[in-house]
A and B are shown apart, each in its own frame.
Chain A
Amino acid sequence: EAQVTQNPRYLITVTGKKLTVTCSQNMNHEYMSWYRQDPGLGLRQIYYSMNVEVTDKGDVPEGYKVSRKEKRNFPLILESPSPNQTSLYFCASSLKAGGLTDTQYFGPGTRLTVL
């Protein structure tokens, strides 16, 4: 089944404890991205990747890191999480690279709470 998977789905952590949220797609997509969704603010893009080893900042990259060492994986790293990073996170991918150029496929989301 073609899908985007994220792990974990739910995470409660404490301020400053490094964490990684994994994202994997099995559709051989070039483009992958991370979003956060907050009440009243809508979805905002954190980082995106046009292809392997190519990543760039989205609208709200502060406090996050990403890497794209393999085409299928695009982990989101929070080196020192803070309470303002409590949010619902989504990973997405598309066959062609570039914004909304192609149909976007979203993962199920990761709900992160930073205490």
Chain B
Amino acid sequence: KQEVTQIPAALSVPEGENLVLNCSFTDSAIYNLQWFRQDPGKGLTSLLLIQSSQREQTSGRLNASLDKSSGRSTLYIAASQPGDSATYLCAVSGGSYIPTFGRGTSLIVHP
């Protein structure tokens, strides 16, 4: 059964730092991977979707990479801001179409 692990579980950094959030999955036979942001008391917001044939996706200060062979994805956040404070979730789906989510990385960016 697919398992998704996110490291670190929590992260606290000063504003302006470049960050790397890690996501690893046990079954490399995935169709796609998606990174989400979850703010307290709110639903999830999709940040980046990477199809299995792609290696990376970029949106503004965010860049996500995917290495299927090693079962890893990274989310890179450039020049972090206090507004980036949230929980970041990684999810993968394969042939069953049922997504598997990681438990998330809780990020605090302090001024």
Contact = CB atoms under 8 A, between A and B. Distances in A.
Contact of A99 (B43, B44, B46, B93): B93
B52 to A, nearest CB: 10
Chain A binding surface, main DSSP class: loop
Contacts of A105: 46
Contact of A103 (B46, B93, B103): B46
B63 to A, nearest CB: 17
Contacts of B92: 100
A100 B32 CA distance: 6
Interface stretch (B13-21, B65-73, B76-84, B94-102): B94-102
Interface residues of A, number: 24
A102 B97 CA distance: 11
Give the size range of B's interface with the partner. Answer: 20 to 34
Interface of A: 4, 40-45, 48, 58-59, 90, 92, 98-109
27 contacts: A4-B43, A41-B103, A42-B103, A43-B89, A43-B99, A44-B101, A48-B97, A58-B98, A90-B43, A98-B31, A99-B32, A99-B93, A99-B96, A100-B31, A100-B32, A100-B33, A100-B93, A101-B32, A101-B97, A103-B46, A104-B34, A105-B46, A106-B44, A108-B42, A109-B41, A109-B42, A109-B43
